[in-house]
Amino acid sequence: MEKDINEIIVKSLVGKKLDADEQELKNQWMDKAGNNGFYNKLHHYRKETKDVINDKRMDVNQAYQKHLKHINVAKSTKRKLIINRLLPYAAMIVVMVGVYSLITQLGTDVNITSPEQWLSSVEPGSQKAELILADGKVMDLEKENEEALIKEQDGTVISNTGSSLVYDVSLKTESAEIAYNSLVVPRGGEYKLVLEDGTKVWVNSETRLRYPTKFEDDKRIVLLEGEAYFDVSKDKTRPFIVRTQGVDVRVLGTSFNVSSYLDDEAIRTTLVEGRVAVIDRENQKENVILNPGYQAVYAKKAKELTAEKVNTDLYTSWKDGRFVFDRSNLGDIMARLSRWYDVKVFYQSNDLNNIRFTGSLKRYDNLDRLLNMIEKTNEVKFVLGEKTITVEKVYSKK
């Protein structure tokens, strides 16, 4: 049976999660003329709406019937004009009555949140991730007890502290086949990993890292999709290789950051200390050697590999709990915030992506603080929706 759109809208307004079918029906309704604006007004006028909701004497259905009566008594020549004008909003009016009626039935338990309240309630990311074992078993590390021990099928013991994983292969059977694990960090999450060789990895939001429980005798290879900071243990006999979409980052022992998100136009490797080689996997002759303070940029479409000197804090400060921006591209800034605070960002026009901003913020501060800082530039403003932020241009008053 088709779900009632009234119930779906109410459910969305009060902050309850919609299932896939409900979300699809809501999207179809929001696409119709006038509905999107009406939905936003329900949020915007939260206080007024709440007063109406809590007034048990109000009969919304009765009020709506009076409205219909006024339309019906209009003269026929005028009626057509009125109805034609109201047709695009008919569905909206019906839903409005249904929404108010349903919310009234729910009484004071319902709390419609305004966009401003929603923004102040947005929490920063936290330590959470899933561990996929060699046999395909998925473990939610956030729900695991602190100091929990996980045993792999090859004998490897994995300690979970609630914020990091530590691998111990002292009990591993030498004859066993290599077992691979994957650490999957969702939007709004981060996690730390200590591999069996002592290499430390800080894994950022929306990232997947695949690695063996024990490295081979001649090399150490991990596969990265997303962003991670590596502090690699020195081992001259076994190079450490981070394999991404188009390049390999090859090191012996060093500290560096790799950002390789699927939807980014480039893969960036930023070196803090040591020395690394970044190699175009398709064209092995194309490679760059990085010294500290430099960044390798691999443009995916052009398949070009270049290097430039950068302020490494701009690309690595997330590991230390900070966001640092220095005339940074607003599009890049909002992409980072989107992943960390798990919100969707839209732009009024594409040129807004290129606005520059300088500033810093603690990674665990509320999102509204940074948005307010950016708005003080008087170049953009942020329009809030349901877990969405729309960036709009500020036009100077003449």
Distance CA 35, CA 25 (A): 13
- Co-location of 88 and 176 in the same domain: no
Q: Where are the beta strands (DSSP E) in 233-321?
A: 240-243, 247-251, 255-260, 266-273, 276-280, 287-290, 294-299, 304-309
Judgement on whether residues 156 and 256 belong to the same structural domain of the protein = yes
Least confident window among 109-113, 226-230, 297-301? 109-113
- Report the alpha-carbon distance of residue 22 to residue 12 in Å, rounded: 9
Average pLDDT, the chain: 79
Whether residues 234 and 92 share a domain: the answer is no
| pLDDT of amino acid 113 | 52
| Claim to verify: residue 304 and residue 347 sit in the same structural domain | no
Of 342, 102, 321, 291, the residue nearest 229 (C-alpha): 321
* Domain assignment present for 119: no
pLDDT of residue 397: 57
CATH code for position 342: 3.55.50.30
pTM of the model: 0.69
Write down the pLDDT at residue 7. Answer: 74
Q: Report the range of poorest mean pLDDT among 136-140, 220-224, 268-272, 394-398.
A: 394-398
Q: What's the confidence (pLDDT) of residue 57? A: 35
Residue 139 pLDDT > 50, yes or no? yes
104 and 145 both lie in a single domain: no
Q: Which of 51-55, 169-173, 238-242 has the lowest mean pLDDT?
A: 51-55
Q: Does some domain include residue 185?
A: yes
152 — pLDDT class (breaks 50, 70, 90) = confident
Indicate the residue among 266, 293, 311 that finishes a domain: 311
Looking at the structure, tell me whether residues 307 and 330 fall in a common domain.
no
Last residue of a domain, one of 91, 113, 135: 113
Residue 335 vs residues 63, 329, 344: alpha-carbon distances, Å: 46, 10, 9
Residues 132 and 194 in one domain: yes
Q: Are strands 255-260 and 266-273 parallel, antiparallel or unpaired?
A: antiparallel
For the ranges 69-73, 93-97, 235-239, the one whose mean pLDDT is highest: 235-239
- Give the chain's radius of gyration (CA, Å): 27
- Same domain as 306, residue 325: no
Q: Same domain, yes or no, for 108 and 132? A: no
Domain extent for 299: 126-311
Give the model confidence (pLDDT) of 222-279 as tens digits. 999 999 999 999 998 999 999 998 899 999 889 999 999 998 999 999 999 999 999 9
- Taking Cα atoms as reference points, which of 213, 224, 31 lies closest to residue 135? 213
pLDDT at residue 54 in the model: 38
pLDDT band at 106 (very low <50, low <70, confident <90, very high): very low
Confidence label for 36 from pLDDT (cuts 50, 70 and 90): low
Q: Is residue 316 part of a domain?
A: no
Does residue 398 form part of some domain?
Answer: no
Q: Does one domain contain both 140 and 218?
A: yes
In this structure, are 277 and 131 located in the same domain? yes
The Cα–Cα gap between 264 and 300 comes to: 9
**pLDDT at 39 (0 to 100):** 63
In this structure, are 159 and 237 located in the same domain? yes
Given a cut of 60, whether residue 184 has pLDDT beyond it is: yes
Structural domains in the chain (count) = 3
In contact, 393 and 348? CB cutoff 8 Å: yes
Cβ pair 394, 379 in contact under 8 A: yes
Higher pLDDT, 18 or 40: 18
